[in-house]
């Protein structure tokens, strides 16, 4: 004991110590004191925090909708993590399991894992005959990548309303494979003998006339001739069938236009091509791509293929692009 005290006295500042030794001993005491103070402060703060953290009971949220479960969890100051799984017995969107179990005591801020039902396990093809195609498209979103509709759809005339599914393959009850299963559908295009009243195109500039015909999904063909006396340049001067004439649905509208007034660096022409014929009208688009690479969609319409023509009045080097079902079919560079 006395030895320990004598050793301690040696590190205390003494009168006979020189100035440097006394300063060194004082610094040792200051640093040691600061370290002890910091350790005591951190320990005290930790104990206060540990003692002050509120504990709560985990609520029972199984069997209720996810939105209500999240509110119950958050009201108790808890965090949540969601996991999805298929379930045969619970409604889609309800909590079927939770961890920790209800009644467990946890501190505020702890995490609760909620396992939410994705609905019944889907393993067989349902019967879609009689459904409307739009309703089926919405329904299939819940399948994720398991099922997709094969396009183009096969459309036939029928007494059933337009868009009604008449036949399907695979048949109802077929097992869904682990990969992507495609649905081949026969869809009603409505009763036979559909007619429409031909719109008025005369005196419209050819770009406006083309967009108007496409907006009605009317198949059209353009031809040109020189303007006669008192006729405008660059407009529709003749149309067959005539305006307001009632014709079958897929009648081709033939539009005759006059060339526009010449402009520097611009080329006028009519791009004529024959597109692959389709069993039904499919998405067909016409794009103009400038020399700077700017791509503009002029129109998008339903077209069954066959003869196809579009007028243009563009700078040399401009690209005209026609796509069918999103795939390039015609790539034309404007030249003199």
d(CA 229, CA 227): 7
Q: Containing H/E element for 196?
A: strand 195-197
The C-alpha atoms of residue 225 and residue 241 are separated, in whole angstroms, by 18
Check residue 274 and give its pLDDT: 95
pLDDT at 161: 79
Q: What is the pLDDT of residue 252?
A: 92
Q: Over pLDDT 70: what percentage of the chain? A: 85
- Separation of alpha carbons 309 and 316, rounded Å: 19
Of 3-12, 59-68, 108-117, 283-292, least confident by mean pLDDT is 3-12
Report d(CA 96, CA 82) in Å as an integer: 11
pTM: 0.46
Q: What is the number of helices (H) and of strands (E) in the chain? A: 5, 20
**Is a pLDDT exceeding 70 seen at residue 275?**
yes
pLDDT higher than 60, residue 7: no
pLDDT at 13: 60
Tokens at residue 292, please? 């700077």
d(CA 115, CA 39): 43
> Do 164 and 129 form a contact (C-beta atoms < 8 A)?
no
Neighbouring C-beta atoms of residue 147, cutoff 10 Å: 20
Is there a contact between 298 and 312 (Cβ–Cβ < 8 Å)? no
Whether 170 shows a pLDDT value over 80: the answer reads yes
- pLDDT digits 0-9 by tens, 181-210: 889 988 887 776 567 788 899 999 999 999
- Lookup: tokens for 331: 């790539």
Mean of per-residue pLDDT scores for the chain: 84
**Closest of 69, 68, 117 to residue 96, by C-alpha:** 117
Question: What is the per-residue pLDDT for 12?
Answer: 59
Strand 147-149 with 181-188, pairing: parallel
Supply the pLDDT for residue 14: 62
Q: Cα(195)–Cα(218) distance, rounded to whole angstroms? A: 12
Between the CA of residue 238 and those of 212, 226, 262, 270, 272, what are the distances in Å?
A: 15, 12, 21, 16, 19
Distant-in-sequence, close-in-space partners of 299: CB < 8 Å, separation ≥ 6: 210, 211, 214, 215, 285, 286
Residue 159: CB partners within 8 Å, gap ≥ 6? 191
Cα–Cα distance between 85 and 102 in angstroms, integer? 20
According to DSSP, the residues that pair with 275 across neighbouring strands are 306
Cis peptide before 152 (omega within 30 of 0): yes
User: Per-residue pLDDT tens for 83-93?
Assistant: 877 776 557 78
User: What does the block give as tokens for 47?
Assistant: 């104990």
pLDDT exceeds 60 at position 293: yes
Over residues 130-168, the pLDDT tens digits come to 999 888 888 887 666 678 888 777 777 778 877 899 999
The pLDDT tens digits of the residues spanning 10-62 come to 555 666 666 676 676 677 777 777 888 888 887 877 666 655 467 889 999 99
What does the pLDDT look like over 295-306, one tens digit per residue? 999 999 999 899
């Amino acid at each position: 004991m006395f030895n320990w005290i004598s050793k301690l006295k040696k590190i205390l500042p003494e009168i006979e110590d020189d100035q440097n030794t006394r300063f060194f001993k004082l610094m040792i005491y200051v640093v040691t004191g600061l370290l002890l103070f910091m350790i005591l402060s951190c320990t005290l703060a930790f104990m206060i925090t540990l003692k002050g953290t509120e504990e709560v009971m985990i609520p029972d949220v199984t069997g209720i909708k996810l939105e209500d479960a999240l509110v119950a969890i958050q009201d108790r100051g808890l965090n949540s993590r969601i996991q999805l799984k298929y379930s045969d017995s619970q409604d889609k969107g309800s909590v079927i399991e939770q961890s920790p179990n209800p009644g467990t005591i946890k501190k505020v801020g702890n995490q609760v894992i909620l396992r939410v039902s994705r609905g019944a396990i889907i393993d067989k093809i349902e019967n879609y005959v009689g459904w409307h195609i739009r309703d089926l498209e919405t329904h299939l979103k819940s399948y994720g990548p398991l099922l997709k509709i094969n396009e183009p759809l096969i459309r036939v005339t029928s007494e059933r309303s337009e868009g009604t599914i008449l036949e399907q393959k695979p048949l109802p009850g077929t097992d869904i494979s682990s990969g992507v299963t495609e649905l081949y559908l026969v869809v009603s295009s409505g009763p036979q003998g559909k007619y429409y009243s031909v719109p008025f195109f005369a005196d419209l500039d050819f770009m406006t006339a083309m967009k108007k015909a496409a907006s009605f999904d009317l198949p059209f063909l353009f031809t040109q001739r020189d303007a006669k006396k008192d006729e405008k340049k660059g407009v529709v001067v003749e149309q067959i069938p005539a305006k307001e004439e009632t014709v079958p649905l897929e009648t081709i509208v033939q539009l005759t236009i006059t060339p526009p007034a010449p402009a520097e660096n611009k080329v006028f022409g009519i791009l004529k091509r024959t597109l692959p014929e389709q069993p039904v009208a499919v998405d067909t688009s016409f794009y103009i791509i400038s020399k700077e690479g700017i791509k503009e969609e002029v129109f998008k319409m339903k077209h069954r293929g066959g003869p196809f023509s579009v007028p243009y009045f563009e700078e040399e080097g401009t690209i005209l692009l026609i796509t069918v079902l999103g795939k390039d079919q015609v790539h034309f560079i404007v030249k003199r």
